[in-house]
Structures are given as structure tokens and as C-alpha cells.
Amino acid sequence: MNMPADYKQSVLEISIKSRVREVIENMNRYDKMDIPSLQWFPGHMKKAQRLVEENLKLVDIVIELRDARIPASSANPMLAEIIKDKPRLIALNKSDLADREQTKRWIAYFQAQGVRAVAIDSVKGRGMKQLVAAACELARPWTDKLVSKGGRPRAARCMILGIPNVGKSSLINRLAGAARTKTENRPGVTRAKQWISIGKNLDMLDMPGILWPKFEDQLVALKLAFTGAINDDIIDREQVAELLLTVLREHYPERLIERFKIKDELPESGVELLELVGRKRGCLVKGGVVDLEKAQNVVFNEFRSGKLGLVTLDAVPDVKQAPEGQPSAEGQPAESGKGVE
């Protein structure tokens, strides 16, 4: 029988959702989901929030950095509350590792919600011009107002905000280029807050605001672990690797087959997949037993560096389900299947 593509897609989503949920439920039963080890206790969160709020007073706009592979899961749950009515734009970083088509759809989604978004790669410097142009444009009403009130014309001021490992330092370094190195090299100059000029129309605070992710949601935590945003041992390194292989097997079997030169049918379970990867890569200990730790490293390193293909793990929400003013809808983690087609 020839099933319509849409139908197949939704069956796939349901199966992946239930499988991941099942494994997570099992993990809970054995009490392995140790979220507090992420070191974001209420005290840390309060402190991080306070630091961001202090710096917010100094800027016209914020650039919220998210991971293009997980545009929903890499968001901070309290961002709107923290930045209040400060104009914001979203930069989807690491777009070099994400599914291009999905990145386009995410950008269109954000724009439809009234938030400007740009795809960037802070390592290679892609998208920097567009980002700077978007930032200047977003800030213009504020800088213009200043002038109309009799103030001196000045460059727009921005700051970078995002969860750990999303690429804040890389972006700041990339945008700063030579300007930053110069100021840092002067002896006696404290590394306190500094402004970095990016062209003549934009100044950037050189210290990013660090926010925490939505790790209280277990599927979100898992995706953060897959992408390396949070320590992969927060759950159980082996399980994270096995789940990642399960997800890839479900959505990109051909990539696993090709990358690991697999001749026979792919095994069903995560454990068997991990063992197979280990065997294919010669991660063996005495007696031909697979060194699972080495196999895990292969999986994580190759996935995170894009060698297993460009993958987006968060689905673009159905706009009907996510009207403006309800940002939480964009974080539906269970939608993951759609992102990985």
C-alpha cells in the first residue's frame, strides 16, 4: 500500500516519541535522571538573571543566541520575563550543523511571530553581515528617538544572550575581530565591561548574558545532551548515546549505514547499535568485547561535528497551535520527530 508522505511522517513521529518516552520513563524508574547535577540551582539562576538585568539597562536591544539544531530546546524559559519589552532578535547559531530546510522554516516561524531571526555560523563567520544589519534595524527606532529628544546620535548598543555552549564567546570574538584583541593587549586595562564597536552603527557589550535552558523537561534535556549543550553524563552517557543512535536509526538510517559501512540490517536496540558502531571502529578491549566508552565518544564526536549529517531535532511548531504571545508553544519537545525528516 502506498501511504501518503504526511501519514508516514506522523507515524514516524509517534513511534519515535513513544520510544524516547519509554526509555526516559525507565530511566526515571531507576532514578538516573539527575537534573540537579546540571549545576543550575535556584541560587545560580537568580544570580544569572540579576547579572543579565544589570547589563540590560545599558543596551538598546538583545541578540538571543540559539542553537539552530534545537531552536526550541536551546531557549531560556524565562527570557520574555527577564528582558521584558527590550527589542530582541534571534540568531540561530551553528547553522552549519543544522538541516538547512528546517532552519529556513524556523526563521519563517519566528518572523511570523514578529521576531526577526537570522541563521549564523560563528566559527566560519557566516551570516555576520545580516546579523549586524538586523540588529541596527531593530535598534533604529530607539536610537532615532534619542536624537529626536535632542540627544547626540550614537551607535546602537546590544548584548548577546544565550544558554551555555550555544556559541556566545565565539560570536563575540567573531564580531569583535581585531578590535577586541587590541583593547585586550593594552596593559593595565581591566577586563571589566567593555564596548566593542562593530562598524559605526553598532556597539556590543563584550560580556554575554548566560541563561539556563529548559532542562526540567526531560526530552529537552536529552536534546541538549545530544548536541553537547549540557554534559552528556547528566543522565547516563551510555543511554544518551544509545538514544541518539535510536533517533538516527529512525530518521536517518542511511547515514548510519554509510558512515559506519554497515552491510547487514541495522539492529533495533540502542545497545546493539552502539556495539555495532564500536565494532566497526575497532573500539575493542581484550577478548573482542566492545569498549562502550570509546564507542560513545565516536557517536558523540561524529554527531556533534556534523559527520552524521546535518540534523535539526526540534520541529517547527504548527502555527495554529502557537499563537503570538504564547512562546511556550514553540518549545513543544515532543514534536521532535518533525524536525528530523
Ligand X SMILES: Nc1nc2c(ncn2[C@@H]2O[C@H](COP(=O)(O)OP(=O)(O)O)[C@@H](O)[C@H]2O)c(=O)[nH]1
271-290: contacts with ligand X (CB under 6 A): none
User: Considering the rule CB under 6 A, would residue 122 count as an interface residue with ligand X?
Assistant: yes
User: Considering the rule CB under 5 A, would residue 169 count as an interface residue with Mg ion?
Assistant: yes
Q: How far is CA 298 from CA 5, 65, 124, 258, in A?
A: 33, 28, 24, 15
End-to-end CA distance of the chain: 21
Is residue 71 a contact partner of residue 214, using CB atoms and an 8 Å limit? Answer: no
Binding residue for ligand X (CB under 6 A) from 93, 102, 113, 246?
93
157-216: contacts with ligand X (CB under 6 A): 162, 164-170
User: Considering the rule CB under 6 A, would residue 123 count as an interface residue with ligand X?
Assistant: yes
Binding residue for ligand X (CB under 6 A) from 60, 99, 121, 275?
121
CB under 8 A, 24+ apart: contacts of 246-250: 246/19, 246/20, 246/23, 246/270, 246/273, 247/16, 247/20, 247/313, 247/336, 247/340, 248/303, 248/308, 248/311, 249/273, 250/12, 250/15, 250/16, 250/19, 250/340
Which residue type sits at 71? P
Per partner kind, with CB cut-offs from 5 to 8 A, the member of ligand X, Mg ion, none near residue 170 is ligand X
| Set of cell numbers at residue 203 | 556597539
Q: Which is nearer to ligand X, 125 or 327 (CB)?
A: 125
Minimum gap (Å) between residue 215 Cβ and ligand X: 15
Region near Mg ion per CB under 5 A, out of 166-174, 175-183, 229-237, 275-283? 166-174
| String of contacts with ligand X for each residue 207-236, x by CB under 6 A | ------------------------------
137-174: burial string, b at 16+ Cβ within 10 Å, e else:
ebbeeebeeeeeeeeeeebbbbbbbbbbbbbbebbbbb
User: Considering the rule CB under 6 A, would residue 97 count as an interface residue with ligand X?
Assistant: yes
Per partner kind, with CB cut-offs from 5 to 8 A, the member of Mg ion, ligand X, none near residue 214 is none
Q: Which is nearer to ligand X, 68 or 221 (CB)?
A: 68
Contact residues toward ligand X (CB under 6 A) are 93-94, 96-97, 121-123, 162, 164-170
Contact residues toward Mg ion (CB under 5 A) are 169
